[in-house]
């Protein structure tokens, strides 16, 4: 039987084509879509692919990515959070207020405090959903309204006219601070080396155990692709993008995103907790009968969603260089859109953290490119809507094909 386990296919391209035919296309259609968007914007405005604009685009994407990853924790269970755009900003507001000169709390305490607030709200949602069995759609809709009120109260209570600026350096530097070009290289090389090592090591140990593996060319191709992407990113970040003074290096927001991405991916793919989150999203009753403590892991996912959203809130207030009492109501919807465009299912059991990264970059590309072309906000909303629909439709068709084949 071990002979049957090896996947036939002459080469890696043949394998890729075969997988696509089977509907297991992964993120390829979405990446092609992103490429088309990039080509379009680059033709319309040559400044689009400039280093300065790309770095700007990545920073804009970080918030969609983080909030998208927060949603993925819940979408995997078949749950949803309609309030993450408000609760994350509420956490950010708590941090801004704490570091404000009137309280003057150290960033060392204030940043975790903001994240903790959002995590606690996530835990509260989780308890209501799990113990009282109220649908998360309703619980978080109620939270959206209630915490918007709390945010307005909190910000207005400071008596600064509905806006609190950030005067604290660490919080400010989350988005506006940069690694030096050397550290940018070190970080990227270390990251690529680690991931490449993991991929090759996994392949080698599977081979030595006599298990089926992808063709060697496939693994080498993936590592080479990763290396190329790393080098291009390092060059983009390290090119001088200053207009008056030289400016280069990776904004701190990027490693923050990558850190949260690694953490989430590690939990989901390598631990029991992650396995159970997928299982519960796929078939709750099967998980329960297999002895999984379903309530515990659902609650955990709500807490992790809050934790991830909390980090997003910090980046949001840092990017805005302050907080006001009226955050955009579209923030939550963009978060869900980022996850879904990337390929995460709304019905649970299917999705990856990396989906939010791809989806977030697509949303930021549309947002950034349209602004560069001086297109109106109305066009931007319409295009984002069309892209969302297209992404989900392509995915649905691919999946239907795989189900019937």
Partner 1 sequence: MSTTPESSNPSSSSNGPSGQDGSGAGSEPVLLSLRGISKNFGPVQAIQGVNLDVPVGQVTALIGDNGAGKSVLIKTISGIWEPSGGHIYWKGDEIHVHTPRNATDLGIATVYQDLALCDNLDIVQNMYLGREETKFAMLDEIKMELATNQLLRDLSVSTVKSVRQLVASLSGGQRQAIAVARAVMRESQLVIMDEPTAALGVSQTAQVLQLIRTLSSRGMAVLVISHNLNDVFTVADRIAVMHLGALCSEGPASNYDTASAVELITTGHSSRVPSTLTPSS
Q: Is 271 in the site for partner 1 (CB under 8 A)?
A: yes
Q: Considering only residues 132-191, where is the footprint of partner 1 by CB under 8 A?
A: none
Q: Which stretch binds partner 1 (CB under 8 A): 43-51, 54-62, 190-198, 288-296?
A: 288-296
Q: Is 2 in the site for partner 1 (CB under 8 A)?
A: yes
Q: β-strand 163-165 against 322-324: which pairing, if any?
A: antiparallel
Among 198, 272, 296, 400, binds partner 1 (CB under 8 A): 272
Residue (23 or 255) nearer to partner 1, CB: 23
Among 40, 218, 263, 278, binds partner 1 (CB under 8 A): 278
Q: Is 330 in the site for partner 1 (CB under 8 A)?
A: no
- Cα separation of 3 and 211, whole Å? 10
SS3 327: coil
- Cα separation of 100 and 105, whole Å? 8
CA Rg, the chain, in Å? 22
* Least distance from partner 1 to the Cβ atom of residue 269, Å: 8
Identify each DSSP E strand in 62-209 by its residue range: 163-165
Q: Which stretch binds partner 1 (CB under 8 A): 65-73, 102-110, 123-131, 201-209?
A: 201-209
| Token pair belonging to 325 | 């009492």
Residue (9 or 177) nearer to partner 1, CB: 9
Which string of x and - marks every residue 349-388 that binds partner 1 (by CB under 8 A)?
A: xx--------------------------------------
Q: Which stretch binds partner 1 (CB under 8 A): 65-73, 138-146, 205-213, 354-362?
A: 205-213
- What are the DSSP calls for 249-308, one per residue? S-BTHHHHHHHHHHHHHHHHHHSHHHHHHHHHHH-HHHHHHTT--HHHHHHHHHHHHHHH
Q: Is 204 in the site for partner 1 (CB under 8 A)?
A: no
| Cβ-contact 54, 234 below 8 angstroms | no
Q: CB-based contacts of 402: which residues, under 8 Å, 6+ apart?
A: 22, 23, 24
Phi, psi of 108 (to 5 degrees): -55, -35
| Token pair belonging to 69 | 């990853």
Q: Is 401 in the site for partner 1 (CB under 8 A)?
A: no
| Token pair belonging to 139 | 């619980």
* Least distance from partner 1 to the Cβ atom of residue 291, Å: 4
Among 10, 46, 403, 404, binds partner 1 (CB under 8 A): 403
297-320 as b/e, with b when 16 or more CB fall inside 10 Å? bbbbbbbbbbbbbbbbbbbbbbbb
Q: Is 282 in the site for partner 1 (CB under 8 A)?
A: yes
Which string of x and - marks every residue 7-46 that binds partner 1 (by CB under 8 A)?
A: x---------------------------------------
* Least distance from partner 1 to the Cβ atom of residue 139, Å: 25
- Cα separation of 192 and 228, whole Å? 10
Residue (209 or 243) nearer to partner 1, CB: 209
Residues that bind partner 1 (CB under 8 A): 1-2, 4-5, 7, 205-206, 209-212, 270-272, 275, 278-279, 281-283, 285-287, 289-292, 349-350, 402-403
């Amino acid at each position: 039987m071990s002979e049957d386990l090896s996947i036939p296919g002459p080469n890696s391209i043949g394998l890729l084509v075969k997988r696509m035919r089977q509907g297991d296309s992964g993120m390829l259609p979405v990446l092609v879509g992103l490429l088309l968007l990039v080509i379009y914007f680059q033709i319309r405005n040559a400044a689009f692919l400039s280093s300065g604009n790309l770095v700007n685009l990545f920073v804009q994407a970080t918030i969609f990515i983080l909030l998208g990853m927060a949603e993925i924790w819940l979408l995997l269970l078949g749950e949803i959070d309609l309030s993450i755009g408000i609760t994350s900003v509420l956490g950010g507001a708590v941090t801004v207020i704490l570091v404000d000169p009137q309280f003057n709390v150290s960033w060392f305490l204030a940043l975790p405090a903001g994240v903790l607030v959002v995590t606690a709200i996530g835990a509260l949602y989780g308890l209501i959903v799990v113990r009282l069995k109220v649908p998360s759609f309703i619980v978080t809709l109620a939270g959206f309204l209630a915490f918007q009120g709390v945010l307005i109260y909190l910000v207005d209570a400071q008596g600064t006219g509905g806006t609190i600026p950030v005067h604290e350096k660490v919080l400010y530097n989350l988005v506006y601070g940069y690694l030096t070009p050397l550290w940018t290289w070190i970080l990227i090389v270390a990251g690529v080396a680690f991931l490449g090592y993991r991929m090759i090591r996994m392949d080698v140990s599977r081979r030595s155990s006599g298990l089926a593996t992808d063709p060697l060319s496939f693994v080498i191709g993936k590592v080479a692709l990763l290396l190329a992407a790393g080098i291009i990113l390092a060059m983009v970040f390290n090119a001088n993008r200053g207009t008056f003074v030289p400016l280069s290096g990776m904004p701190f927001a990027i490693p923050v995103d990558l850190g949260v991405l690694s953490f989430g991916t590690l939990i989901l793919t390598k631990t029991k907790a992650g396995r159970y989150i997928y299982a519960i999203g796929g078939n709750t009753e099967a998980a329960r009968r297999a002895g999984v403590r379903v309530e515990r892991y659902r609650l955990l996912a709500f807490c992790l969603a809050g934790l991830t959203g909390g980090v997003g809130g910090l980046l949001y207030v840092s990017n805005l260089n302050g907080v006001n009492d009226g955050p955009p109501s579209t923030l939550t919807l963009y978060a869900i859109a980022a996850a879904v465009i990337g390929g995460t299912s709304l019905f649970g059991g299917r999705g990856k953290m990396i989906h939010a990264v791809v989806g977030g970059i697509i949303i930021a590309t549309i947002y950034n490119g349209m602004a560069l072309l001086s297109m109106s906000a109305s066009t931007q909303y319409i295009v984002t809507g069309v892209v969302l629909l297209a992404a989900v439709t392509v995915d649905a068709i691919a999946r239907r094909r795989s189900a019937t084949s």
